[in-house]
Structure 1
């Protein structure tokens, strides 16, 4: 069996979700951004992790914090197989309107490094919290929902203190190629509304289209067109939520020349049509 799930609780797009999985074969995640916060803890193996506009090498004992709506994707590096725990939670679960909220709980999500490499004692501390979470969610004894929130708060406070101790130093790219791809991603993020082709981008950055295509996939985990479409759909979600623009106007504003193509890409990435997404946002307003 290629995948063993030790714990799977909740829905990934819901208010609280946790999954502990061990895989023995190559795996790449398919969802690229969401409106929940994400904590990723690697127990075994190595992973590439692309977050916003940078790529990271994740090793066992690394704790990763991804802010809501940040584009991200894990990819295979080295021998196949890895073991990890991922937690997603919403503002409704533990956000600004929650009575237990404190800004220090979210310090790790604001830290520019995204990744905290834990020392052995810190790994033991985090693993203890994860074990308690697993026990509570499997047994579901009286008050387990409350204790789950308290354990999550303990993990977030620990991470916030790690963020305070960790010096903010200039980010070191893994290689000149990683730096170049990061620059290209930043360019896409700033110009995705414009017509954009692989050949045109390759010419702008003095690379061959073939080499750029391969390098972009290797570094980010996305194909070029996957990333462009992801950036466009992410902005479309914001416009659907925050404006009264017509859907055809939003499609054009984010760079789609064909409304049907926009609809297909939107549903592929969000599992909803643009209209259904807008109606859902109107029915259940999300806290900022």
Structure 2
């Protein structure tokens, strides 16, 4: 920890059952694009941030509440002054999923809705910040029964969010350019056609941009090269098929768009840290 970053609370890890992190920063910070198998809640206490989530860009202000679904690619970066304070929370299905007594399907619906952003009113901000402060205190103190308390507070937060009516951010306050929205359209196209060959010249023609400009701008906004993003989408789909089906690994490689099996193996291991065979063994669903 340095003077430019103050960690107020840190508990668990983002791929575990429950994770809570509150950090203040005074210098530029950019989180690389990533995804994980847990749900994420992001709340900005102070400052402004830029967020790329799945296929859309968001200008995030203090008091905004963000919900990110499992396996959705996301990235946060500087917007204006780098000074900001945020709270990030991740939780797994095991922590508050369908087999948990407190689970209700409506508690998770905001993770699949779009947009991912809630712009809270002052009274709503106060309520959310009170809940988050109580969770941070439970995570810091870790008194007897603190995990049950965290589950109860998380349930209350999710129920509160489920009752919210989404109100879009004021367009006059939104600094995101038409270019961000154009790249969002490109990302949606890649998501829908990830298993197909999409040569850069054809893609750039379809969206009215030069190949060089599209390639450069896509990388700047999403953090990925176009090919890198397509590989990520293919590997994500392969992960799902490996865990949920008995299909041969070679057939899965072809189904998600890899023409060479060796290329599939290398790319899968690079992005997940495990070979397809080992991933299936560790993540097989009953």
Structure 2 match to 1:161:
163
1:114 aligned to 113, 116, 126, which one? 116
Q: 1:252 to 1:40 in 2, by over 3 A?
A: same
Summarize deviations over 1:157-213 as a string: whole Å, max 9, x none. Answer: 111111xx33689x9994432332222112111222122333332133221112112
Deviations 1:126-174 (A, max 9, x none): 1111111111111111111100101111111111111xx33689x9994
Quote the RMSD (CA, aligned, Å).
2.4
Residue of structure 1 in register with 2:195 after alignment: 193
Q: Paired residue for 2:271?
A: 269
Residue 206 of structure 1, aligned match among 181, 189, 208: 208
The CA distance in 2 between the partners of 1:49 and 1:233, in whole Å, is: 23
Is 2:184 the counterpart of 1:152?
Answer: no
> Tell me, what secondary structure is at the counterpart of 2:34?
coil
In structure 2, relative to structure 1, the CA distance for the partners of 1:212 and 1:80 (3 Å cut) is: same
Sort the Cα spacing of 1:31 and 1:202 in 2 relative to 1 into closer, same or farther, 3 A. closer
Q: Which runs of 5+ in 2 are unaligned?
A: none
8 Å contact 2:32–2:223 — kept in the other structure? no
- Corresponding residue to 2:229 among 227, 230, 242: 227
Question: Does residue 6 of structure 2 align to residue 4 of structure 1?
Answer: yes
Q: Secondary structure at the match of 2:32?
A: coil
Equivalent in the alignment of 1:101: 103
Structure 1 range deviating more: 6-15 or 44-53: 44-53
Q: Deviations over 1:80-129 (max 9, x none)?
A: 34321111111111111111112332232233221011122222221111
Per the normalisation by structure 2, the TM-score is 0.89
1:78 maps to which residue? 80
* Contact 2:33–2:222, Cα closer than 8 Å, also in 1: no
Task: Tell me the matched-pair count.
Answer: 281
TM-score normalized by the length of structure 1: 0.88
Tell me what 2:250 maps to.
Answer: 248
* Aligned counterparts of 2:229 and 2:59: Cα–Cα separation in 1: 20
CA contact (8 A) 1:194 1:255 kept: yes
Q: Distance in 2 between matches of 1:265 and 1:83?
A: 35
Asked whether the 8 Å contact 2:269–2:275 carries over to 1, the reply is: yes
| Secondary structure, counterpart of 1:193 in structure 2 | coil
Which of 55, 60, 69 is the aligned partner of 2:57?
Answer: 55
- Give 1:73 deviation, angstroms: 2.0
Q: 1:103 to 1:22 in 2, by over 3 A?
A: same
- Following the alignment from structure 2 to structure 1, what is the Cα–Cα distance between the partners of residues 265 and 8? 36
- Alignment match of 2:144 (pick from 137, 142, 145): 142
State the Cα distance separating 1:240 from its structure 2 match.
Answer: 0.8
TM-superposed deviation, 1:260:
3.7
**1:30 positional shift:** 3.2
